[in-house]
Structure 1
Amino acid sequence: MQSKNRAALYLRVSTPDQKPDLQYDGLLDYVDRAGLQIVGDYCDIAVSGRREGRPRLNALMASVRNREVDCVLVWKFDRFARSTRHLLTALEEFDHLGVRFISVQDQIDTASPMGRAMLTIIGAMAELKSSLISERVTAGMKAAAARGKHLGRPPLAPWLIHEIETLAASSDLSIRTIYEKIGQRVSRGRVGEITKRVRLGQKNAL
């Protein structure tokens, strides 16, 4: 049975004057101690943390998907992922493909119980952050509404509302016809809302 020791190293530096030597030496030392075999090293130099701007990271992920790699090693999380979401997405893919992930400085190895526990915590924190952001957005919308700010689609001019209401109240024109008569200066959906409101009010007044 083939041992799963094919390791790929990933390194990243943000500027041309930075050298990846510290990362590389640390990874080599870990590989030697762990008895892994390096089958590739991928280094992005002078690139941002954005995934689409890192050709060597993309090449690494292609090797992982081709099942040419059993283990991915990085020096630190922030050298690999630009965000918690990116990290979790990659780790979920690694887990699905049976690929081990090691962050040497962070002392995380997804093959160990502690490493998997840490990933669970990271995932929970990311979910909590997402929930808090959602709550803040909702609270902000409510506060804006309370201050009289209109959120979402822009309000219609009063004269335009009056024109639609007049057509709706004084005729049996269809919503489509009213929409066409006002010169399509507002969406057909809004015309429908106003027309139905006016005609429902007339019906209730009878």
Structure 2
Amino acid sequence: MTRKKVAVYVRVSTKDQSVGMQLNDLERYSKERGLTVYKVYEDNGVSGTKETRPALDELMNDARKRKFDVVLVWRFDRFARSTKHLVTALYEFRNLGIDFISYQENIDTSSPLGEAIFTIISAMSKLERDIIAERVKGGLRKARASGKRLGRPKNDVDTDKVIEYRKQNKSIRQIASEMNLSKGAVQRTLEMCS
């Protein structure tokens, strides 16, 4: 039986921190489980809030090329700080046939319990998105009810000036530039006057 290849991802937020403890735990874990470390992907001094990070981007590119079978991280928050980012990555790994293991949380998506936890995390992420969407809709309803105008403010277009510029054979782009308007506003004005 061939040994599964594992991509080890470690990250620290500041340059004065060390990934040593994470690496020791993950390398020992890999050895005990009979996993072959394909590569260690290490982001030093990079915030977890950034979805694009040099080593993480390289890991994702290698995953898409199916260079390994498992992604191993010390904790979820070393990999992703937002539920959305984590769920997106886990879905991609699942579609690629790559398992995901979080050492500290003891979660392995190849196990039934890990799969259940993944489903719960996905549901929580959807709930979070739905709550945010409801808040936004509620805020818009309240703003409309209090008489606030929503959207971009309309430019007051001097129709006579637009027509005058057009008679001088100026292009819509030139008119828009001279009057500090969008090309669409000039176009609509000309269509209304024709």
Q: TM-score range by the shorter chain?
A: 0.7 to 0.9
Residue 61 (structure 1) shift:
1.7
2: CA distance, partners of 1:82 / 1:4? 30
Q: Is the 8 A contact 1:7 1:36 kept in 2?
A: yes
Residue in structure 2 matched with residue 45 of structure 1 by the alignment: 44
Q: Is the 8 A contact 1:10 1:42 kept in 2?
A: yes
1: CA distance, partners of 2:3 / 2:62? 15
Greater mean deviation of Cα atoms: 147-156 or 6-15: 147-156
Partner SS, residue 51 of structure 1: coil
Give TM-score scaled by structure 1 length. 0.74
Amino acid at match of 1:96: N
Q: Taking structure 1 as reference, are residues 89 and 142 closer, same or farther at Cα in structure 2, changes over 3 Å only?
A: same
Q: Taking structure 1 as reference, are residues 38 and 75 closer, same or farther at Cα in structure 2, changes over 3 Å only?
A: same
Residue in structure 1 matched with residue 124 of structure 2 by the alignment: 125
Amino acid at match of 1:74: V
Q: Per-residue CA shift, 1:89-142, capped at 9, x if unaligned?
A: 111111111111100111110001111111111111111111111111111111
Q: Is the 8 A contact 1:4 1:70 kept in 2?
A: no
Q: Taking structure 1 as reference, are residues 19 and 140 closer, same or farther at Cα in structure 2, changes over 3 Å only?
A: same
Instruction: Give 4+ residue runs of structure 1 displaced > 3 Å after superposition.
Output: 183-186, 188-192
Q: Is the 8 A contact 1:9 1:74 kept in 2?
A: yes
- Give 1 or 2 for the bigger CA radius of gyration: 1
Q: Any stretches of 5+ residues in structure 1 without a counterpart?
A: 168-176, 196-206
Q: Any stretches of 5+ residues in structure 2 without a counterpart?
A: 168-174
Partner SS, residue 69 of structure 1: coil
Partner SS, residue 68 of structure 1: coil
Residue in structure 2 matched with residue 141 of structure 1 by the alignment: 140
Q: How does 1:1-206 map to 2 (within 5 A)?
A: 3=2, 5-49=4-48, 50-52=50-52, 54-155=53-154, 187=185
**Identical amino acids, percent of aligned pairs:** 46
1: CA distance, partners of 2:118 / 2:9? 19
Give TM-score scaled by structure 2 length. 0.79
Q: Tell me the number of residue pairs that the alignment of Structure 1 and Structure 2 aligns.
A: 178
